[in-house]
Amino acid sequence: MGTHVCRKQIVRWMWRWSVCPVAVSRGYMPFCSTQQKPHQANPSPISQVTHRPGNQLTLCSLLKMGFSETQAKEMHEGATKSRGKHVHSVLTALLLLGLNPSSILKIMQKCPEVYSLKGADLQQRIDHLRKMGLVEGSLQRMISRYPKVMLLPVKRVNMVSRLLREKCLFTIHQATDILRDSPEVLEQDLSKLEYKFQYAYFRMGVRQPEMVKAKLFRLSLSELRCRHCFLEQRGLYQTPDKKGQTLILNPPLKDILCVSEETYLVQVAMADADEFHVFRKLMAREQEEEGREDEYSSDEELEEDKDDDEDDDGLHRRKRHWNTGYKKDRK
């Protein structure tokens, strides 16, 4: 019995002092161990980083997480460059989420800022997305496709979700589908996001379910306008009337947006690429002129506000309010 216990103690002692060899360009070098050798002279920079106090990420720990030797070295190099102090907890949270090492490495390559996250902050954001209805599978696809979502504070996610539900009148389920399929909306300007919805709703006569199905918010507003107006000019699209009726059969929104430009031209617009490119340039020039006009109008309004502030009787301010319809005098 005593011999058996003695053998177990010896095995534990040998394991404690064992090293994990990882292939490098010149033979094998012990990159990580549970304790440093007492007489090690001039340790390599990688060894210093591996055993730096507060940094728990080692090549051995990466291998134990399931990363291959190549993946572990690349991950360790990225963590070293970012100087992240909580990389181990971040990787643990991503593994617990169900992402495999290959997917995690791709996420880190797309968005190196994730290295600098705190594990507790990441877990809080993941839990919040779950509460919003992003269940397992959807959440993993969302993070893999758009890793920046892990950097956004909870407040920003709530603002976008509230705009989709209250201003654009999407249901809770539809808003969740938009965040899952088009997470880029979380970083877009809220006013531009709302305007894109209004363009599709009022100008094109498209309703919310069709917008979600066509992944409307993946496409930029300029590309949306260009494809829609090109069809309209060719007599292939018509804005519905108040009753939602048209004289022609409009193509579904998904056939306009969810296809490549080549497929769009051949199957929907039935036009050649040169014609569409000329039209795109004209649209871009028109939008540029509209932008200059808006900027000029804004400057005029600022000048009017300045004059109004200097005017004691407020006559110009009242006149401007009457013209715009805002802040009318009460009866």
Give residue limits of the domains in the chain.
56-151
> Is the full-model pTM beyond 0.85?
no
**What pLDDT was estimated at residue 159?**
97
**What pLDDT was estimated at residue 307?**
56
**What pLDDT was estimated at residue 85?**
87
**What pLDDT was estimated at residue 44?**
40
In this structure, the number of other CB atoms found within 10 A of the CB of residue 204 comes to: 22
User: If 0-12 CB within 10 Å is exposed, 13-18 middle and 19+ buried, where does residue 269 land?
Assistant: buried
How is residue 159 written in tokens?
Answer: 């603002």
**10-residue stretch averages of pLDDT, the chain, 331 residues long:** 48 44 42 46 40 62 93 92 89 93 95 93 94 90 93 96 97 95 95 96 97 96 96 96 93 96 96 96 89 66 57 43 37 38
